[in-house]
Amino acid sequence: MRYELYYWPGIQGRGEFIRLALEEGGADYLDVARGPQKNGGGVSALMRYLEDSDLAHPPFAPPFLKAGKQVIAQTANVLLFLGPRLGLAPANEAGRLWVHQLQLTIADLVDEVHDGHHPISSALYYHEQKLEARRRTADLIKQRLPKYLGYFEGILLRNQRSGQYLAGRSLTYADLSAFQIVEGLRYAFPRAMAKLEKRYPRLVALRDRVAARPRIAAYLASDRRIPFNENGIFRHYPELDA
């Protein structure tokens, strides 16, 4: 099957968690909005789904995935669908639900990172809520990041006898997403992360194992990997990097 991923073409954002799974799984996929409009791509192709009043199960927002006749939205939901099909989820239901639970926790963290630089409203520019962002991000770095990163570090510690990944011996999409979290936080808060990372050696080692996987390494070195920038979720504003 050829999958079609619909997400904004200029940012990694939430779509990157799905891209990483598609790349590691060796999937045949098309990043639709990054393609030329003359070939049926571009943002206009994405907007057709968002504005289609005849679509039985319309997505609220990107990212969403088209798989045959199915249109599946929400990052964690898309990964729940893709995981078993790409060999990135456990075979048993309990294992799949556990990985999904991990992904939902990562989604919570992603929301908190976003709200660090946009604590009042996504409709306002960063400079219109800069003071509030400094207060929110200070709490994020001091309180919330240690809580989340410590949680994943603790899971890896429990698994150290049974495997090197969040769900045990085998890589899952949750590990790919944990990699993306570390990468994003390093970009957004290089000074803070240089200190924080020392507390979470297993999580950093997981990041390194994922980065070294052949398909991921090839993806990271390619132009398919969009660079981090100040339009996505992970943004580097030096004044927020306490």
pLDDT tens, residue by residue, 179-195: 999 999 999 999 999 99
Q: How many residues make up the chain in this entry?
A: 242
| Burial zone of 125 (CB within 10 Å; 0-12 exposed, 13-18 middle, 19+ buried) | exposed
* Count of the separate structural domains present in the chain: 2
- Same structural domain, 34 and 65: yes
Judge whether 234 lies within some domain.
no
161: confidence class by pLDDT, cuts 50, 70, 90? confident
Q: How far is CA 16 from CA 43, 159, 174, 180, 191, in A?
A: 17, 26, 13, 8, 24
pLDDT, tens only, 97-111 = 999 999 999 999 999
Judge whether 240 lies within some domain.
no
Q: Are 236 and 17 in contact (CB under 8 A)?
A: no
Domain of 183, CATH number, reads 1.20.1050.10
- Same structural domain, 63 and 114: no
- H/E element, 210: helix 201-212
Judge whether 222 lies within some domain.
no
Judge whether 24 lies within some domain.
yes
26: confidence class by pLDDT, cuts 50, 70, 90? very high
- Same structural domain, 80 and 55: yes
Q: For the chain, where are the E strands, in sequence order? A: 2-6, 28-31, 64-67, 70-73
Number of helices (H), then strands (E), belonging to the chain: the values are 10, 4
Domain of 69, CATH number, reads 3.40.30.10
Range of the domain at 48: 2-85
